[in-house]
Amino acid sequence: MNWILPEGASLDFEGLAAPLRIVRGLGGGTQGQVYEVELEGERLALKWYLPACIARDAGLERRLAASIRATAPNDAFLWPIALLRASPASRPLIRIREESFGYLMPLRPAAYVGASEHAAGRLAIGLRQVLRACFGLADAFHALHLAGLCYKDVSLGNLFLEPGGGGILICDNDNVAVDGADHGAVLGTPGFMAPEVLLGQARPGADSDLFSLAVLLFRLLTRHDPLKGQMELAIRCLDEPARRRLCGEDPVFIFDPVDARNRPDPIEHAAALITWPIYPRPLQALFEQTFCRGMKQPSRRALTGQWKQELARTLDQRSLCPACGQENFQAAGAPALCWSCGSPLPEPITLALPRGSVLAAPDNELHPHHFDALVGEDLRRPLARVVAHPQEPRRLGLCNLSAAAWSAEAADGRSWPVGPGESCSLAALTRILTPAGPIAVQRPIPPAPAA
Amino acid sequence: MPFPDVKLANRPLHFLYLCDCSGSMAASGKMQALNQAIRQSLPGMAAVARDNPEARVLVRAVSFADRAAWHIETPTPVDQLEWRDLQAGGITAMGAALQLVAAALQTPPMEVRALPPVLVLISDGQPTDDFAGGLEALRRVPWAQKAVRLAIALGHDADLEVLQRFIGSEPATGGRSPRRPLQAGNATSLAQYIQWASTAVVGAASMPASRVSETPLEPAAGNIPLPDLPPTVLDPTDDVGPVVW
């Protein structure tokens, strides 16, 4: 890589009181180069634009300045912190003749890896973590859209995942603008762009973000593309005109309940056929809403709030197959088979809550939104977590993650206090009283003995 | 529990170098500079291939001097590629090289479904054989018509007109363009162009990069929007322009 900024050097920038040390180049693309930098002992990232990118995008500096003033919608965004131009003294150290600028942002922690690693199947990640990442993505876009902003260029390339916990980070926030106000230069990334934007009939905004968000969620959940089915197989050379047809002129969702022209091929598109049936019907319905009716009618696409609600509910329905241990998502009351090994799934213990219910499976969590109708879905501050007994993993308990004591009640009326950090066995209990609200422990009714 | 063991369906992306190894390449270290430029570009190319799970990047190379021959005949995944040095000596059988590539882009051996191939022709001189015949053979092959064709002119003796005919029709607007021969006047700019072709162009052909409204959609060979050419990065050790050639 030919680095524009000299690695190891300290440069002065206008508006920064202290010099910035260029630690090392991290990467470069068609827009610019990204560096790890150090400012007064703090490690940050610096994106430096190529002159061609600045020349093409007249509103770039104005948008960045507005974003810096507005601050990040939530902590999932690697949001611009400061706009940087070299001071006259440092200008000669920058190895391009044309005038250029960049911006500072938080440095991505090493545990976060590019989402394309997941798409390529190179990441050790579980379904729970993938669903949590999807929720985090919907939550981030929810916060962005509620702030009146839109992102415009969602793709696998600007999303990072933390495979251990399912955390996400969104980078390249330099196209963010007030929805409908600023006609920035970016249109989006083909494959993620809404059809109306790809065809040049609309400018990117919050409605086209909803399409791109759904594509990204689909790709995370299935490791496949929602528009690549038989119609893609019919294309020999997948070039620009072919992509335009497939994703713009005649886009057909591979699982469209009515239009069967673009079904996945059992061999080429096996990923979609294996993963899609894992997910509960209401979650599938949001994809159908966005990719069928919403394909041509942007206002009909599933909203960020709907995604948050359904992804949170899906996590609540998570259970583990007793035969193979694989994660399943079980609808209440319905008999089900494990998607992975085909064994029948027993009806699990259910924790009935004032708002919704959560199946008792290790790592499933109770959150404030399960108790309070006025708080939105949020997975950041769990109140309780289902845990397996350290010696007897088949015995499940509930760990108190809150700061207040609970009272756990058995069927015979006896009760025990459960302090913060303590766990109570679910086998003996019928009800747990917590300051947030009651938790009813519902065990499946054993089948009636044969007559 | 792990996510189901499935991965994204992908398509092959064939990347072919056509390298001039005529005797003049031995002068002023040009041959060594080209070997170095390609070798240095491979880690970056492998990184781009990794980041584009939709594409399976496969590299081949043809050398041409007295005759044209495969330098790397098997389409090789970029992370497994070891670049053996090309040796200079002989005349410039560029037409024969085009014939060789034309045969390789026939289906079969080419897959039925693929991403647009990328052909990079690097030359410092003029063809000494039937260039027109080779170009005609190449133009008849559908995969060559769909291919992104780039040319790098080494030094000022390269035949720009021949390279332009390889690329296709010249863009209407003037100035530096990927649809014109890229003129490498020194080892630094050669390395930049090789790096650009093997990273930015491979990226654009495998998973299109984010699009901006002002991107000029050039007609004719424009079935893949080409990324911006690399900026002229001033070489800190050598800021006086071409010193080698």
C-alpha distance from residue B212 to each of A58, A153, B189 (Å)? 12, 10, 27
Nearest to B214 among A56, A95, A223 (CB): A56
Location of structure tokens 């330098």: B71
Mean pLDDT in consecutive groups of 10 residues from the start of chain A, 451 residues: 90 92 89 94 96 88 92 95 94 89 96 93 94 98 95 90 96 88 76 92 93 97 96 94 92 97 95 96 98 96 98 97 94 84 93 96 98 95 96 93 97 94 94 97 77 54
Give contacts of B235 with chain A, Cβ < 8 Å: 95
What letter does residue A22 receive in the DSSP assignment? E
C-alpha distance from residue A190 to each of A23, A120, A316, B134 (Å)? 34, 18, 34, 35
A206-222 and A304-316 helices cross at what angle (nearest 10)?
20
Q: Which of A271, A255, A275, A274 is nearest to A263 (CA)?
A: A255
Residues A121 and A193 in one domain: yes
8 Å CB contact of B195 and A243? no
CA angle B126, B127, B132 (to 5 degrees): 125
8 Å CB contact of A51 and B231? yes
> In chain B, positions 200-239, which contact chain A (CB-CB < 8 Å)?
200, 203, 207-215, 222-225, 227-228, 230-236
- Asked if B141 and B135 count as a contact pair (C-beta separation under 8 A), the reply is no
Give contacts of A125 with chain B, Cβ < 8 Å: 2-3
Q: Taking CA atoms, what residue in A is nearest to B10?
A: A268
Q: C-alpha B187: how far from its chain's center?
A: 16
In a domain, A328, yes or no: no
Give contacts of A2 with chain B, Cβ < 8 Å: 188, 191-192, 195, 230, 233
Q: Count other Cβ atoms within 10 Å, centred on residue B84.
A: 10
The confidence score (pLDDT) of residue A450 equals 61
Residues contacting residue B97 through CB under 8 Å, at least 6 positions apart: B18, B62, B63, B64, B68, B134
Pairing of strands A149-150, A177-178: antiparallel
Give contacts of A268 with chain B, Cβ < 8 Å: 9
Q: Taking CA atoms, what residue in A is nearest to B234?
A: A95
Task: Give me the half-sphere count of Cα atoms (radius 13 Å) on the Cβ side of residue A60.
Answer: 25
User: How many residues does the structure list for chain B?
Assistant: 245
8 Å CB contact of B9 and A228? yes
Say which amino acid occupies A142.
H
Cis omega (within 30 of 0) for bond into A444: no
Q: Count other Cβ atoms within 10 Å, centred on residue A450.
A: 4
> Which of B6, B42, B217 should we substitute to test contact with A (largest number of A Cβ atoms within 10 Å)?
B6
Phi-psi region of A106 (alpha: psi -120 to 50; beta: other; left: phi over 0): beta
**Per-residue pLDDT reduced to its tens digit, A16-33:** 989 999 999 998 877 889
Q: C-alpha A344: how far from its chain's center?
A: 31
In a domain, A288, yes or no: yes
**Per-residue pLDDT reduced to its tens digit, A322-362:** 999 999 999 876 778 999 999 999 989 999 999 999 999 99
Residues A167 and A254 in one domain: yes
Give contacts of B110 with chain A, Cβ < 8 Å: none
Residues A285 and A356 in one domain: no
Give contacts of A224 with chain B, Cβ < 8 Å: 6, 8-9
Taking the domains of chain B in order of start, what are their residue ranges? 11-206
Backbone angles phi, psi at A448, to 5 degrees: -60, 135
> With 0-12 CB in 10 A as exposed, 13-18 as middle and 19+ as buried, what is B5?
exposed
Distance CA A392, CA B107 (A): 61
- Asked if A408 and A426 count as a contact pair (C-beta separation under 8 A), the reply is no
In a domain, A384, yes or no: yes
Distance CA A194, CA A177 (A): 17
Q: CATH no. for residue A388?
A: 2.60.200
8 Å CB contact of A237 and B44? no
8 Å CB contact of B210 and A57? no
8 Å CB contact of A185 and B207? no
Count A/B contacts: CB-CB distance under 8 Å: 157
8 Å CB contact of B210 and A186? yes
Residues A101 and A119 in one domain: no
Residues A186 and A248 in one domain: yes
- Asked if A264 and A273 count as a contact pair (C-beta separation under 8 A), the reply is yes
Instruction: Tell me which fold the domain B11-206 belongs to.
Output: Rossmann fold (3.40.50)
- Asked if B104 and B69 count as a contact pair (C-beta separation under 8 A), the reply is no
Residues A184 and A278 in one domain: yes
Cis omega (within 30 of 0) for bond into A417: no
8 Å CB contact of A157 and B211? no
8 Å CB contact of B192 and A97? no
Q: Which of A156, A140, A148, A133 is nearest to A67 (CA)?
A: A148
The confidence score (pLDDT) of residue B238 equals 45
Residues A92 and A123 in one domain: no
- Alpha helix ranges (H) inside A4-120: 51-56, 60-70, 115-119
8 Å CB contact of A238 and B146? no
Q: Count other Cβ atoms within 10 Å, centred on residue B244.
A: 15
In a domain, A315, yes or no: no
Residues A98 and A125 in one domain: no
Distance CA B197, CA B202 (A): 7
Please tell me the pTM assigned to this model.
0.92
Residues A73 and A117 in one domain: no
Nearest to A271 among B6, B142, B227 (CB): B6
Residues A210 and A268 in one domain: yes
Distance CA A75, CA A63 (A): 20
B187-196 and B30-51 helices cross at what angle (nearest 10)?
30
Nearest to A120 among B7, B212, B225 (CB): B7
- Asked if A221 and A135 count as a contact pair (C-beta separation under 8 A), the reply is no
**Per-residue pLDDT reduced to its tens digit, A236-288:** 999 988 999 999 999 999 999 999 999 999 999 999 999 999 999 999 999 99
Location of structure tokens 């689909």: A218
Contacts 24+ apart (CB under 8 A), A33-39: A33/A1, A33/A3, A33/A4, A33/A5, A35/A3, A35/A5, A35/A7, A36/A107, A37/A104, A39/A104
Residue ranges of chain B with pLDDT lower than 50? 215-221, 236-243
The confidence score (pLDDT) of residue B221 equals 41
Backbone angles phi, psi at B244, to 5 degrees: -85, -50
Say which amino acid occupies B175.
G
Strand ranges, E, within A123-176: 149-150, 159-162, 167-170
8 Å CB contact of B143 and A274? no
Strand ranges, E, within chain B: 11-20, 55-64, 68-77, 118-123, 148-154, 182-184, 211-212
Nearest to B8 among A119, A153, A189 (CB): A119
Residues A132 and A75 in one domain: no
Residues A59 and A190 in one domain: no
Phi-psi region of A131 (alpha: psi -120 to 50; beta: other; left: phi over 0): alpha
Pairing of strands B55-64, B11-20: parallel
> With 0-12 CB in 10 A as exposed, 13-18 as middle and 19+ as buried, what is A150?
buried
Q: Which of B36, B60, B57, B59 is nearest to B47 (CA)?
A: B57
8 Å CB contact of A189 and B209? yes
Q: Which of A48, A79, A106 is the last residue of a domain?
A: A106
Residue A56 sits in which domain range?
A: 10-106
Q: CATH no. for residue A121?
A: 1.10.510.10
- Asked if A312 and A286 count as a contact pair (C-beta separation under 8 A), the reply is no
In a domain, A322, yes or no: no
Q: What is the CA radius of gyration of chain B?
A: 18
Distance CA B149, CA B120 (A): 6
